[in-house]
Structure 1
Amino acid sequence: MDYFTTTSAASRRAASAIVVGIYDRNKLSQAAAEIDKASDGLLSKLLKSGSISSKLGKASVHHSLQGTRAQRVVTVGLGKADEFGVAALRKATAAAMTALDSHKITELVSYLTLEPAGKASPYYLARHTVQTIGDALYRFEMMKSTRRSPAPTLKKVGLAVEKRADSAQATLGAEHADAIVKSMSLAKDLGNLPPNVCTPTYLARTAQKLAKEHARFDTKIVNETEMKKLGMHSLLSVTAGTEEPAKLIVMQYKGNGKAAPVVLVGKGITFDSGGISIKPGPGMDEMKYDMCGAASVIATMAAVATLQLPINVTAVVPACENLPSGKATKPGDIVKSMSGQTIEILNTDAEGRLILCDALTYARRFKPAVTIDVATLTGACVIALGHHTSAVMSNNDALANELVASGVSAEDRAWQLPMADEYTQQLKSNFADMANVGGREGGAITAACFLSKFTDGMNWAHMDIAGTAWQTGSRKGGTGRPVPLLTQFLLARAAVLP
């Protein structure tokens, strides 16, 4: 996709389609007012007749509109002017893309980027617009043999700016958004692939391929034999019931000399049956998404490498399946983690923390400045925050605040949940150093408290994305979250934001 900026008036812009907005009470946006004037009040007449709606997210396509040079003019409702922010901008842009879905357009110019969306800068107006367009164009059809949708024809996206001085910011926003879109598509693809294709070995090969495609990038794969020598018996206990070999994927991007890296740890359970504590059948197919933490971490590494950020980032991805068999770990088994601490496994369906704890211990060897683990860890998090917001828990409030702020800027929201010793007490075991579950109450928090036992002395945060990594129902599919949040965090850390 090619991106450009323009200061041209909307009526004089030649393109396959242009997008303008209408606020509540029939208030025309800047570009819509200019088109209305050029068309002798045609938009005003359409508003009065009810042919155009100002309701947020309602879009209409008008062909060869009088007084304009564009082949199509898309009018989209923006809602109340005093409530129009980045979220509304994205909803309006998505609605315009839906309205254009059946139209073969090669060039689209958005004039919504001229609107004061919560006083967002030209950088963020462009970035959110391009990201929304990219999200709308995503399709997953690689497993279909017939009836595939036609490939998108859109090749160029224009972003209207108030003055030429804003072009540099808007262009940078489009560049960053393009990398985020491609990385989110990778994360979606990995999540949407069936578990008989997207195995731990497939994830490992994907990481190796990325290393070959980008500079300053190296990938190492640790096999089960090496894991045993390292003492990663907690991780290996999860994969005991399957024939598919586990992989520990280690990706290193070096963009800033010998500076301490940010380490991202992603949960990679490529299929989670629950093990001996088997899950109920309905919806179990969606447990292929239990590797979305791994997918988001791998995809974020791709974004960092694409943008060649001046920062060091390392990803550690423990990847395996969780299946029942005669060799599977049983409730009541006790295993020793790489840290030397022992764990009584009361529920084999609480397996994510068992692979993450060894990965966190492994991550210490990189002497990280910051360690962030990302995991579809608990159903309790979905109960607490629904499907809209990811959870953040940390042993450092400043780090948690940094992640939450990154989510706000990226429009990929997260919320901090508390951690305290009272929750940790729920993990007591009569027979081992700790149990792997602490009861139903505060389940997302006790899971984080379990992981905290392996992060002493580390600047660490845990993200539970169980509610945000994929959608269910008729729109079932990976979301690519929290790639935008993580990329924003790293962009800020690399000090490349305008």
Structure 2
Amino acid sequence: MDFRTQSASLDALAGVNADALVLLLAGDSLPVGLDAALAGAVKDAIKLGDFELKAGKTLVLQRVAGVKAPRLVLAGVGKPTLKSARAAVLAALAALKGRGAAHAAIAYAGFEALSDSLVEQTVLAAKEAVYVYRHTKPSAPAAAKLNKLTLLAAKDEAKAVKTGLARGEAIGAGIELAREAANLPPNVATPTYLGEQVKAIGKSHGLKVEVLDQKAVEKLGMGSFLAVAKGSTEPLRFIVARYEGAAKTVAPVVLVGKGITFDSGGISLKPGAGMDEMKFDMGGAASVLGTLRAVAELKPKLNLVAIIAACENMPAGNAVKPGDVVTSMSGQTIEILNTDAEGRLILCDALTYAERFKPAVVVDIATLTGACVIALGGVRSGMYASDDELAGALLAAGDAALDPCWRMPLDEEYDDGLKSNFADVANVAGREGGSITAAKFLQRFASKYRWGHLDIAGTAWKGGGAKGSTGRPVGLLTHFVLSQGR
């Protein structure tokens, strides 16, 4: 979608040239200074009972006298928050769907000021409204006719608009990349495919990229990662990309993504119902991929390292078995009690590998546990952090991006369930507190730096009729990375 900006005051909106004029109306009364033709149209619609100044209300009017745009879309915002404004944009653009409008202009009425965050969320909502997966679906609907969006703002809001537009377009591109990667079928989005995607970003944005094969991973001593991959004929990939926007002496932010491109559960085989959705088990890797793209577009003055450990988890005669003991890159031995708890097994070696970058902070992202879905549903991602400052930064980033998380505990007592008679640690504990004990397992391999963990099992994708990747938490991660450069 082509995004543009245009200077236009509230009293001159009727003269805006577009296929549709979208008027976002915040508050419970008409704003002072609104163009007379538009104010009259809104008052008439309210009087007729066709529209209300409430959140979620929309109305499409055609050929309004005195308004240049042939379509006028009224969208109630209610209380002017980022969340309500984004919802209003989505509702307004949904109301335009199928109406033939190629160019829409959006005006903000009743807001105290047009912030960069509001512009960012407008852009993200617009990108979400027109997204359709079509790579392997020839029968998918044609691309949306709406392909141009003009944001209308006062002259003194130009700086905020420019900042929000740049950030929204970059994060939006990252979200779309993450969604596409996760939505692709697992016979297409393989570990090799992920490596190729990172190489493509590296080539287009001047990043340093390494894609390690099995031989290189064996040389590094990643016995835990190798154990998960051995049951599949699809070759593993260990992917490292470096964005360098600051001096080499500046410690980098490191993001680590779980890239299980298909998870059968291995020998601890999952039930067949819903197993197709295990193509989304690389949602952590997809979000790192999208965040890397967004950060590279924005060019902040910081250093970022993106690490993706990618493989399949499959049953086979040579697959890892319950009861096997493997040696991780850290030297710690792991008793594998359940092969379906494989994400932590590939992440632990990636977390050890991250030590070599002497990072300022490391955050791993994984569709790790069904327990987190039970705890938090699909609204907030589970968040764990080694210190309060990091937890606060992740919470703030999630709130700023409308991609929220919730801090979970890391009490030492949760370690008890991971004790093993035959290894340094078991890969699972009991059912109780499953997301927490998974995080406690990972924490053992992240003791040499500040560490955060996002369990996105409930937020990375949706099931049912809306089945598909959400692209989360690209927004949260991008805002977090940007905050580390301040």
* Of 119, 128, 142, the match for 2:135: 142
CA distances 1:181-216 after superposition (whole Å, capped 9, x unpaired):
11100000000000010000111111111111112x
Residue in 2 aligned with 1:97? Answer: 93
**Aligned residue pairs, count:** 482
TM-score by length of 2: 0.96
State the shift of 1:120 in Å: 7.0
Match of 1:15 among 11, 15, 18: 18
Q: Give a deviation string over 1:147-181, Cα, whole Å, max 9, x none.
A: 332223334322232x3121111111011100111
**How far is 1:7 from its partner?**
2.3
Matches within 5 A, 1:213-292: 213-215=204-206, 217-258=207-248, 259-292=250-283
Query: Match for residue 461 of structure 2?
Result: 470
- The structure 1 residue matched to 2:83, chosen from 65, 87, 91, is 87
Are the aligned partners of 1:2 and 1:157 in contact in 2 as well (CA < 8 Å)? yes
Contact 1:251/1:315 (<8 A) preserved: yes
Secondary structure in structure 2 of the residue aligned to 1:265: strand
CA contact (8 A) 1:20 1:75 kept: yes
Distance 1:421 1:39 in 2: 61
Query: Against the structure 1 CA distance between its residues 244 and 40, is the aligned structure 2 distance closer, same or farther, given a 3 Å change threshold?
Result: closer
Q: Which residue of 1 aligns with 2:337?
A: 346
- Point out where structure 2 has 5 or more consecutive residues left out of the alignment: none
Q: Quote the residue 1:490 is aligned against.
A: 481
Q: Following TM superposition, by how much is the alpha carbon of 1:299 offset from its aligned partner in structure 2, in angstroms?
A: 1.0
Alignment check: 8 A CA contact 1:5 1:171 kept: no
Q: Secondary structure of 2:4's partner?
A: strand
Gaps of 5+ in 1: none
Q: Which residue of 2 aligns with 1:34?
A: 34
Aligned counterparts, 1:446-461, within 5 A: 446-461=437-452
Task: Give the match for residue 64 of structure 1.
Answer: 63
| 1:81-114 CA distance string (max 9 Å, x none) | xx331111011110001001112323222113x4
- Aligned: 1:198 with 2:194: no
Q: Contact between 1:21 and 1:29, CA under 8 Å: does it hold in 2? A: no
- Residue 7 of structure 2 corresponds to which residue in structure 1? 6
Distance 2:52 2:198 in 1: 47
RMSD: 1.6
Which of 254-263 and 150-159 deviates more? 150-159
In 2, Cα distance between the equivalents of 1:40 and 1:234?
Answer: 65
Decide whether the 8 Å contact of 1:5 with 1:170 is kept in 2: no
Greater alpha carbon shift after TM alignment, 98-107 vs 419-428: 98-107
Query: What is the aligned counterpart of 2:144 among 133, 149, 152?
Result: 152
Task: Work out whether residues 201 and 245 of structure 1, in 8 Å CA contact, stay in contact via their aligned partners in 2.
Answer: yes
Match of 1:73 in 2: 72
* Letter aligned with residue 59 of structure 2: S
Instruction: Provide the rounded CA distance (Å) in 2 between the counterparts of 1:364 and 1:451.
Output: 14
Q: Give the counterpart letter for 1:111 in structure 2.
A: A
Amino acid at match of 2:127: G
Q: Once the 2 structures are TM-superposed, how far is the Cα of residue 23 of structure 1 from its aligned partner?
A: 5.7
Q: Is the 8 A contact 1:86 1:120 kept in 2?
A: no
Scaled by the length of structure 1, what TM-score is found? 0.94
For residues 33-52 of structure 1, what are the structure 2 equivalents within 5 Å?
34-35=34-35, 37-38=36-37, 41-52=40-51
Deviation at 1:22, TM superposition (A): 4.5
1:167 aligned residue (130, 152, 158): 158
- What secondary structure, in the 3-state scheme, does the structure 2 residue paired with 1:92 have? helix
Q: Following TM superposition, where does structure 1 have runs of at least 4 consecutive aligned residues deviating by more than 6 angstroms?
A: none
Distance 1:436 1:313, change over 3 A: same
Q: CA deviation at 1:121?
A: 5.4
